[in-house]
Amino acid sequence: MPALNIEYTEHELAAIREAAAADGKSVKAYVHDLSVREQQRRVFVDHAVAFWKSHQAEFDAAFPEDAPAA
């Protein structure tokens, strides 16, 4: 399985260790899960923005009082 080495300052690593322990995870699992969640969040936001842009006219027509002023 591919792997990645990441360098942290002592302060950064201490904070990551603390956060991992608070989540009950190893540092490796914590960093893995966090990076995957962030990538998934970005994809979700990109799709949500695209959906909004493609349906904004419909929303504005259905709710003209909430439409932005021209």
Which carries the bigger pLDDT value, residue 49 or residue 68? 49
End-to-end CA distance of the chain: give it in Å, rounded.
53
Summarize pLDDT for 50-69 with one digit per residue, the tens.
999 999 999 999 999 998 88
d(CA 50, CA 45): 8
Contact criterion met (CB below 8 Å) for 23 and 30: yes
Question: Which amino acid makes up residue 67?
Answer: A
Q: How confident is the model at residue 7 (pLDDT cuts 50, 70, 90)?
A: very high
pTM for the model? 0.75
Contact criterion met (CB below 8 Å) for 16 and 8: yes
| pLDDT at site 51 | 98
**What average pLDDT score do residues 34-61 get?**
98
**Positive or negative CA dihedral for 40, 43, 47, 48?**
positive
- Please provide the average confidence, as pLDDT, over all residues in the chain: 96
